[in-house]
Amino acid sequence: MPREVVDLPYQVEYLSILDEDGHVLDEDLEPEIPEDRLLRLHRTMLLARRFDERMLHLQRQGRIGTFAPVRGQEAAQMGIVAALRESDWMVPSFREQAASLWRGQSLESFLLAYGGFYQGNELPGNQMPEGSRNLPVAVPVGTQPLHAVGLSYAIQYRGQDDVVVTFFGDGATSEGDFHEAMNFAGVFQTPTIFVCQNNQWAISVPRSRQTNSETLAQKALAYGFPGRQVDGNDILAVYVAAEEAAERARSGDGPTMIECITYRLSMHTTADDPSRYREEEEVEEWRRRDPLPRFQAYLKQRDMLSDSDIEEAEEEILGEIQDAIDGAEERMEELANEELSMFDHMYAEMPPYLREQRDQLARELGRKEGNDA
């Protein structure tokens, strides 16, 4: 008929549970998470925070290379993975240290990988242990959600009820691959949870210049599945959103996109100087919404955590990190001369021409490992 409005069954919801001081806004929404799990979440969040700080020092001292600090985004990541099973898959980008620690990655593996050793991806208990379901870091922005779609298609094909979560940033939503992943997921109704860590910046480009849409969550509407926003610095809200999305996915109702509204409190990577493009006041404002003290305030209100508990944990964590650093640095020394490993894992079997090149390098390095390592 002449001019009519097409009926579209959509809206974008925003969810938050804790206020900035850690008070519960609506008790009906508060998730039921067992105390020991809540405390484990806190312990890991604290570990992620301190490890991040320590890695920054190591980088400044030249002991490791570039990495992307996670500071400020811990709740947005951990609330998601805390709501998942171990058998669910995680497809990360490059800033998911907090989520990965929760999913079992070891501190040493990070240190090795950022120390320039791909063997960081080999350690037991690292991001790829036997039977692990965490994919390695994906550096090319926005390209990994498609792998999540393929994994989740395969899960469905095999009649399993696991789900796949993929993390990416606000900037990543501009890449064509993000669009193709969302569209495939919508068409095939795969059990995929698309988690956008909207930390307000893609290096120097603010969210407002990344795209002209009011929210990132509404992008899901273009693919015919739900998108929602959540206070990403509120671990409970993130948890609830992930739980709901996982339930949808497991019961065959298809994908969900979750936009976690959060903030990168630190630099983009250690190669970046954020003072070139953003105001200290903005950072200050977001510091007040820091997910860590907020979660701690909540736990204290529920009498699960005391200041002395925190102190104790802090101390333990510092020791744990120091041990990891000592272990990793020792390992790096051991590995320093294993250059020939660069020919490993290119193919299941090393083709003859690679073996020839490997022999050549071995001769050059003056070592004997030429022929049958």
Partner 1 sequence: MPKMTMVDALNTALHQEMEQDDSVMVLGEDVGVDGGVFRVTEGLLDAFGEKRVIDTPLAEAGIVGTSIGMAIFGLRPVCEIQFSGFSYLAFHQLEAHAARMRWRSRGAYTVPMVLRTPYSGGVRALEHHSESREAYWAHTPGLKMVIPSTPRNARALLISAIRDPDPVIFYEPKAVYRAFREEVPEEEETWPIGKAQVVREGEHLTMISYGAMMRPTLEAADKLAQEDDVEAEVIDVLTIAPLDHHTFAESAKKTGRVVIIHEAPRSFGPGAEIVARLIESSFWYLEAPIRRVTGYDVVIPLFAYEKAYLPSAGRVLAAARETLESPA
List active site positions.
Answer: 264, 268, 277
Question: If binding is defined by CB under 8 A, does position 318 make contact with partner 1?
Answer: no
As a whole number of angstroms, the distance between CA 62 and CA 56 comes to 10
Question: If binding is defined by CB under 6 A, does position 170 make contact with ligand TPP?
Answer: yes
Least distance in angstroms from the C-beta of 240 to its own copies: 10
Joined tokens for residue 306:
């005391």
Judged by CB under 8 A, the residue of 118, 218, 301, 373 near partner 1 is 118
Asked whether 295 and 75 are in contact (CB, 8 A), the reply is yes
Distances (CA, A) of 159 to 149, 192, 349: 15, 15, 32
Surface-to-core class of residue 369, CB atoms within 10 Å of its CB (0-12 exposed, 13-18 middle, 19+ buried): middle
Residues 1-60 close enough to bind partner 1 by CB under 8 A: none
Binding string, 188-217, against its own copies, x = CB under 8 A? -x-------------------xxxxxxx-x
Residues 252-291 close enough to bind ligand TPP by CB under 6 A: 264, 268
Query: In which residue are the tokens 């242990």 written?
Result: 129
Q: Which of these segments, 95-103, 131-139, 176-184, 346-354, binds its own copies (CB under 8 A)?
A: 176-184
Judged by CB under 8 A, the residue of 81, 107, 172, 221 near partner 1 is 172
Residues 173-192 close enough to bind partner 1 by CB under 8 A: 174-177, 180-181, 183-184, 187-188
Question: If binding is defined by CB under 8 A, does position 229 make contact with its own copies?
Answer: yes
As a whole number of angstroms, the distance between CA 369 and CA 157 comes to 44
Least distance in angstroms from the C-beta of 326 to partner 1: 18
Q: Which of these segments, 6-14, 206-214, 279-287, 318-326, binds partner 1 (CB under 8 A)?
A: 206-214
- Strands 192-198 and 256-261 turn out to be parallel
Instruction: Find, among 20, 64, 98, 102, the residue nearest to 266 by Cα.
Output: 98
> What is the CB neighbour count within 10 angstroms for residue 236?
27
> What is the CB neighbour count within 10 angstroms for residue 248?
18
As a whole number of angstroms, the distance between CA 289 and CA 15 comes to 15
Asked whether 47 and 310 are in contact (CB, 8 A), the reply is no
Angle between helices 145-157 and 176-188 (to 10 degrees): 20
Q: Residue 195 — φ and ψ, nearest 5°?
A: -110, 110
Distances (CA, A) of 93 to 68, 97, 167: 10, 10, 6
Residues 333-352 close enough to bind partner 1 by CB under 8 A: 335-336, 338-339, 341-348, 351-352
Residue 138 neighbours by CB under 8 Å, 6+ apart: 91, 92, 93, 94, 144, 147
As a whole number of angstroms, the distance between CA 235 and CA 124 comes to 28
Judged by CB under 8 A, the residue of 117, 194, 295, 298 near partner 1 is 117
Q: Which is nearer to partner 1, 1 or 336 (CB)?
A: 336
Q: Which is nearer to ligand TPP, 169 or 191 (CB)?
A: 169
Q: Residue 15 — φ and ψ, nearest 5°?
A: -120, 130
Least distance in angstroms from the C-beta of 77 to its own copies: 22
Question: If binding is defined by CB under 8 A, does position 239 make contact with partner 1?
Answer: no
Judged by CB under 8 A, the residue of 23, 205, 247, 302 near partner 1 is 205
Q: Which is nearer to its own copies, 106 or 190 (CB)?
A: 190
Question: If binding is defined by CB under 6 A, does position 172 make contact with ligand TPP?
Answer: yes
Binding string, 208-247, against ligand TPP, x = CB under 6 A? ----------------------------------------
* Residues at the contact surface with its own copies, assessed by CB under 8 A: 1-6, 8-9, 11-17, 25-26, 29, 174-180, 183, 186-187, 189, 209-215, 217-219, 221-225, 229
Q: Under the rule (CB under 6 A), what is the footprint of ligand TPP?
A: 95, 139-141, 169-172, 197, 199, 201-203, 264, 268
